[in-house]
Amino acid sequence: MTTPLAPAPIPSTALGRLARTDLAFLNWRDPAHPDAGGAEAYCWEIARRFAAAGAHVTLFSSRYPGARPREFRDGIRVVRGGGTFGVYGAAAAHLLRNRHAYDAVVDFQNGIPFFSPLFTPRWTADICVIHHVHQHQFDTRFRWPMNAVGRLLEKQVSRRVYRGRPVVVVSPSTREGARRELGFGNPLHIVPNGRPGAALTAPAGHRSATPALTVVSRLVPQKRVDLVLRAVPALLRRLPDLRVDVCGDGPEGESLRKLAAGLGVGTAVVFHGHVSDARREELFHRAWLTVVPSVAEGWGLAVIEANAVGTPALAFEVPGLRDAIRPGVNGWLLHPDADLAAGIASALDTLSTPEARSLTAARCRAWAAAFSWDASAERLAQVVVEDLQRIHRHRRSRRSACDLSVVTRFTSPDPDTTERAVRSHLRQTDVWHRDGDAFRLLLHGCDEVRALSALRRLDVAEADIALAHSHDVLLGATEPYDGPAPGPAPGRRP
């Protein structure tokens, strides 16, 4: 059961400005779908915060066996139609039937988008959300010619249909993929995943006294859970008390169980299937380490879920996971060609004492605390509000393909006047903070020269200007991340 949200925010927030607007969220699955994962959690957590802020939100997703075609949950009207692929045609028909019903459409691209701009009038704001680029993953799910069709739709067709429209990505890696692999020249806004709610209060000693791994994943080829199973025999020779908990379902579930039996590790590996949020959190808390062996991720929600209860993560240095993991802070990254068994063994060696596990847990919790669904919902709302303003008020903005961001600090002799200018002239997606007469601004989509131009519009004569670090952009902070310093590398570097 989801936790009730707080009352609607004050109108000065972007979320508050969306009150009484009509919004459509398009996602191929809703959270109740048997195959729902992190992308569905992202969509739902943000959609229900939009609804709590007073927006009228409709989520259109695919219909699955036993699902109702319509229902109302957490303030969201859920409409289902079509199946795995038929959902795209059903969503198009829904938009055409309700052509004048929505002020904005948030179109979630899970490999293939819904191409909502083709079915909405020009005064509708269409925002595309990309979790990660699938160009290299179509071959793992489809044979020719469907894999080629998937790549064409995700790249050339998407680039044309969404040209000039704002695109939201969940990490710097996804932004890089959208630029380099898809060739998107759109304004790209980073809106990261949040983190789970308050962690369960675990009794003292709940962390396992012996080495334990928890793997939370959909059991599909690109998640490569088989790599963890293949590493277990070597790990058991070194750590005979090792236990591995695997949570999740998927088409590879049966073959992975057979693989574990064939490797002779059936007593050490437990397959839990789909588990409740509470049970997943309990298993994360029990573990010394979570392992995420995916070929790529948009972000790595399982990393932050584990970090929230003090459990570090080990993954390959691949898109998304290299953003979610700060080596020595909340986990470790392996070279893509590294031996996974050796990497896990090295990380477990580093965590072999209660003191080391306690220190690492503190670092993990501090990193996870930097993310929240409330902040992510506000940041996506800023993108929506900014595009609505552009459409209806013809306001000028920095609508460029520049992926740089600038942090600037200055003091003002007339801070109240400066604050009014900041509120009036900065974009919705810029971040600012005032402390007395001191101001700190995080300006997105600009370099130092454009930042100087923005400051002139604010009548600021002198300011410190520096390019923002990628972690500052990820967190949307006007000050650098101030969490714990990285810990020592494992004895044998993973």
pLDDT tens across 437-447, in order? Answer: 999 999 988 88
Tell me which of 152-166, 331-345, 388-402 is least confident.
388-402
**What pLDDT, in 10s, does the model give residues 79-100?**
999 988 899 999 999 999 999 9
> How many whole angstroms separate alpha carbon 448 and alpha carbon 404?
9
Q: Which of these, 369, 377, 363, 303, lies nearest to 333 by C-alpha position?
A: 303
What average pLDDT does range 312-330 have in this prediction? 95
- C-alpha distances in Å from residue 3, one per residue of 42, 282, 340: 15, 18, 38
Q: Which of these, 68, 36, 43, lies nearest to 274 by C-alpha position?
A: 36
Look over the chain and give the mean of its residue pLDDT values, rounded to a whole number. Answer: 89
pTM for the model stands at 0.83
**373-393 and 38-52 helices, crossing angle to 10°:** 70
Residue 452: other Cβ atoms inside 10 A: 15
pLDDT attached to residue 292: 97
- C-alpha distances in Å from residue 33, one per residue of 37, 114, 244, 356: 9, 18, 26, 39
**What pLDDT, in 10s, does the model give residues 413-445?**
999 999 999 998 888 889 898 999 999 999 988
What average pLDDT does range 343-354 have in this prediction? 96
- List, in sequence order, every residue forming a beta bridge with 107; answer none if it has no partner: 26, 128
Alpha helices in 56-137 (DSSP H): 86-97
- For residue 145, whether the previous peptide bond is cis, meaning omega lies within 30 degrees of 0, is yes
pLDDT attached to residue 168: 96
CATH number at 402-494: 3.30.70
User: In which residue are the tokens 């390019």 written?
Assistant: 467
What are the backbone dihedrals phi and psi of residue 321, each rounded to the nearest 5 degrees, phi first? -70, -30
**What pLDDT, in 10s, does the model give residues 361-384?**
999 999 999 999 999 999 999 999
**What pLDDT, in 10s, does the model give residues 186-230?**
999 999 999 876 544 444 448 999 999 999 998 999 899 999 999
Q: Which of these, 399, 376, 386, lies nearest to 475 by C-alpha position?
A: 376
**What pLDDT, in 10s, does the model give residues 173-186?**
999 999 999 999 99
Tell me which of 10-14, 110-114, 309-313 is least confident.
10-14
pLDDT at position 386 over 90: yes
Residue type, 172: P
Residue extents of the structural domains in the chain: 14-190, 212-368, 402-494
Length in residues, the chain: 494
Residue 437: other Cβ atoms inside 10 A: 13
- C-alpha distances in Å from residue 315, one per residue of 289, 361, 490: 11, 17, 14
User: In which residue are the tokens 């690109």 written?
Assistant: 222
147/394: higher pLDDT: 147
Q: Residues 41, 383, 99, CA angle at the centre, nearest 5°? A: 80
- C-alpha distances in Å from residue 79, one per residue of 34, 61, 91, 113, 481: 17, 6, 9, 18, 40
What average pLDDT does range 251-267 have in this prediction? 95
pLDDT at position 456 over 50: yes
What average pLDDT does range 124-136 have in this prediction? 91
**What pLDDT, in 10s, does the model give residues 271-301?**
999 898 899 999 999 999 999 999 988 888 8
What average pLDDT does range 471-479 have in this prediction? 77
Can you identify the CATH homologous superfamily of domain 212-368? Answer: Glycogen Phosphorylase B; (3.40.50.2000)
Alpha helices in 24-107 (DSSP H): 38-52, 86-97
Architecture of domain 14-190 in CATH?
3-Layer(aba) Sandwich (3.40)
Confidence of residue 479 (pLDDT cuts 50, 70, 90): low
At a CB cut-off of 8 Å and minimum separation 6, what does 394 contact?
none
Q: Which of these, 2, 424, 15, 318, lies nearest to 191 by C-alpha position?
A: 15
- The reply to whether domains 14-190 and 212-368 share a CATH topology is yes
Q: Would you give the distance in Å from CA 102 to the centre of its chain? A: 25
- List, in sequence order, every residue forming a beta bridge with 246; answer none if it has no partner: 215, 271
> How many whole angstroms separate alpha carbon 438 and alpha carbon 54?
33
Confidence of residue 5 (pLDDT cuts 50, 70, 90): low
DSSP 345-381: HHHHHHT-SHHHHHHHHHHHHHHHTT--HHHHHHHHH
DSSP-assigned letter for residue 450: H
pLDDT attached to residue 482: 56
Query: In the chain, what is the straight-line distance between the N-terminal and C-terminal CA atoms, in Å?
Result: 38
**What pLDDT, in 10s, does the model give residues 56-72?**
999 999 999 999 999 99
**What pLDDT, in 10s, does the model give residues 26-42?**
999 999 998 888 889 99
Confidence of residue 492 (pLDDT cuts 50, 70, 90): very low
pLDDT at position 166 over 80: yes
Which two three-digit tokens encode residue 409?
């600090």
